[in-house]
Amino acid sequence: MDDYGKSILKLGVGDFARGFTWGLEVERHRIDSEGYISQAPYPAMLGEQSRNPYLKNDFFESQSELITPVAGSIDQVLHDARALDHTLRAALAAGEYLWPFSMPPKLTADHSELVYANDSPKKVAYFEEISRRFGKLDGAASGIHVNLGPTTAWTNAIALRMRRKQQRVRDDLMLKQAVGFMHYRWLLTYLKGASPIAEQHYLSQLPEQPVRSLRNSREYGYGYAQEFKGDYRSVEAYIDRIKAGVASDELLAASAYHEPVRLRHMAGLDAMLAEGVSHIELRMLDLDPVSDIGIQRDTLLLIQLMAFYFMVSPSQDPEALTAASFKNDQVSLEHPYRSCCQQQDALNLLHQLQKLVRRANLAPEYTAMLRRMIEAIRRPNLTTSGQLLPRIRQNSLSQYGLQLAAEFQLLSQLNPSPVYRGFAAEPCPPHNQLQRDLFDRYQRQAHVNLPSLVIPDSPELPEDNIAN
């Protein structure tokens, strides 16, 4: 434990559940009733998509993006995401659904259904240039981005105790978190990877067997994002590296920097240099197909605890990120039923997290979550990819994905919460109006038992059924 860790634990964590701010970005394709990319126009009820900061398009016209406002707790950000999801689903055309997987749904051979998002000429030109450089399909995969950072009040209290400048303390802690998540990205890939296969006409070559996460692999995944490497030795080095990439045309723009973890400030790189890092953005997570909003509470509890661990532990070596990336690539391409090549390191980290929970006297839900994660380390069939394996039919998850999509749509329709319809007239309403008319009025539906939403435990495959 370093000086930061000692100071943080002496200071105490207070209300740990509200110790971080959160934001989610959820990307999902709209599909039709047969499981193909929807050709229905962008939902008119959502207003002008380029002006709506909460519900808009991503790279393609069919690729919706849900963006929550900044939230003060995990429960709040999940509530806000579900409220926006309820509105998005209500806006869909009849027979239209949201595809629950990161890998795109089945495509036609010519990919003509993938139309760039209807945005400004400058943005469309950006999409076209990205496609020219890296291929049109690079933008077709979806995911969920988790934005988080310790509250300003917390980092200011740490700075006051340590008698250091507030910006320096915050930048140091955010860097520790960013590098820590880059080092242990493979753990999230193992536990939460959810792209074991790809659907028809997406990739010309695929592994001979299902894997944990095609999307997180270097060879089959979000490829162009991994070619340009960042510099995480300091905030200044991080900013300089991205600016140099733009100047040399290695990056089309600063927004094209797509490493798995990004340092962020809402006003851009210059503001980050002047004012400090506001939060980090985790971009590596696959959509969780059995969650209506693409992520489960346990995942956010784990991320929060890992972030806290990185804050109180000695900094990871930013020079070792190449080796960490190689570990992640290994894990991403393992068969979902095979024991992880990093199993002992995973158990060691989770045991350290258990010690931290006890030392900081955190709530029992963190202990319970860690028990479930440790069990999944020991039993690979309990991971997300392991649970998906029995659902594969004729090398496709299309049938299961369409079933999930239809059932989530039905659950939303059964929810009696009022649907917010104000985006059509005012795509960017004042936050207090949205809070009053959308978030405060949404109530999550009481549990409805839809058996297909529960994936049964699957037995371990015999070793001779798993290719090396």
55 within domain boundaries = yes
Model pLDDT, residue 12? 87
372 within domain boundaries = no
Ranges 15-19, 128-132, 179-183, 462-466: which has the least confidence: 462-466
Question: Read out DSSP for 284-308?
Answer: EEPP-TTSTTS--HHHHHHHHHHHH
Residues in the chain: 468
b/e 291-315 (16+ beta carbons within 10 angstroms → b): bbbbbeebbbbbbbbbbbbbbbbee
Residue 422: left (phi > 0), alpha (psi -120 to 50), or beta? alpha
Q: Which two tokens stand for residue 113?
A: 């259904």
What mean pLDDT comes out for the span 102-114?
95
Provide the β-strand partners of residue 146: 24, 282
Task: Give the separation between CA 25 and CA 90, rounded to whole angstroms.
Answer: 19
List C-alpha distances in Å: 339 to 120, 188, 219, 287, 343.
47, 15, 21, 22, 7
List C-alpha distances in Å: 29 to 103, 159, 236, 283.
10, 44, 37, 17
What mean pLDDT comes out for the span 369-395?
97
Domain count, the chain: 1
325 within domain boundaries = yes
Query: Which amino acid, residue 455?
Result: I
208 within domain boundaries = yes
What mean pLDDT comes out for the span 385-404?
97
Model pLDDT, residue 134? 85
pLDDT of residue 223 exceeding 70? no
Query: Which amino acid, residue 369?
Result: M
Which has the closest alpha carbon to 24: 367, 279, 225?
279
Indicate the pairing of strand 261-264 with strand 63-67. unpaired
b/e 411-438 (16+ beta carbons within 10 angstroms → b): bbeebebeebeebeeebebeeeebeeeb
Residue 250 CA neighbour count, 13 Å, CB half: 14
Ranges 104-113, 156-165, 401-410, 442-451: which has the least confidence: 442-451
Residue 8 belongs to domain with CATH number: 3.30.590.20
Q: Output phi, psi for 373, to 5 deg.
A: -70, -40
What mean pLDDT comes out for the span 100-113?
95
Task: Give the separation between CA 326 and CA 75, rounded to whole angstroms.
Answer: 34
Model pLDDT, residue 429? 95
Cα of first residue to Cα of last residue in the chain, in angstroms, is 39
Binned at pLDDT 50, 70 and 90, residue 281 comes out as very high
Task: Give the separation between CA 320 and CA 302, rounded to whole angstroms.
Answer: 23
What mean pLDDT comes out for the span 57-63?
93
Model pLDDT, residue 448? 60
Between residues 120 and 101, the one the model is more confident about: 101
Which has the closest alpha carbon to 153: 39, 47, 32, 18?
18
pLDDT of residue 452 exceeding 90? no
Q: Summarize pLDDT for 171-216 with one digit per residue, the tens.
A: 999 999 999 999 999 999 999 999 999 999 998 889 999 999 999 9
Contact between residue 23 and residue 54 where contact means Cβ atoms under 8 Å apart? no
Model pLDDT, residue 13? 86
List C-alpha distances in Å: 126 to 93, 116, 254.
28, 10, 12
Which has the closest alpha carbon to 131: 42, 223, 54, 30?
223
Model pLDDT, residue 204? 85
453 within domain boundaries = no
List Cβ neighbours of 430 (8 Å cut-off, separation of 6 or more): none
Model pLDDT, residue 460? 47
What is the residue range of 152's domain?
A: 3-333+392-435
pTM value is 0.94
353 within domain boundaries = no
pLDDT of residue 407 exceeding 70? yes
The pLDDT mean for the chain works out to: 93
Q: Which two tokens stand for residue 181?
A: 């998540």
Model pLDDT, residue 224? 40
Q: Summarize pLDDT for 308-365 with one digit per residue, the tens.
A: 999 999 999 988 999 999 999 999 999 999 999 999 999 999 999 999 999 999 999 9
21 within domain boundaries = yes
Task: Give the separation between CA 388 and CA 406, rounded to whole angstroms.
Answer: 18
Cβ neighbourhood burial of 147 (10 Å; 0-12, 13-18, 19+): buried
Contact between residue 24 and residue 81 where contact means Cβ atoms under 8 Å apart? yes
Q: Summarize pLDDT for 247-277 with one digit per residue, the tens.
A: 999 999 999 998 999 999 999 999 999 999 9
260 within domain boundaries = yes
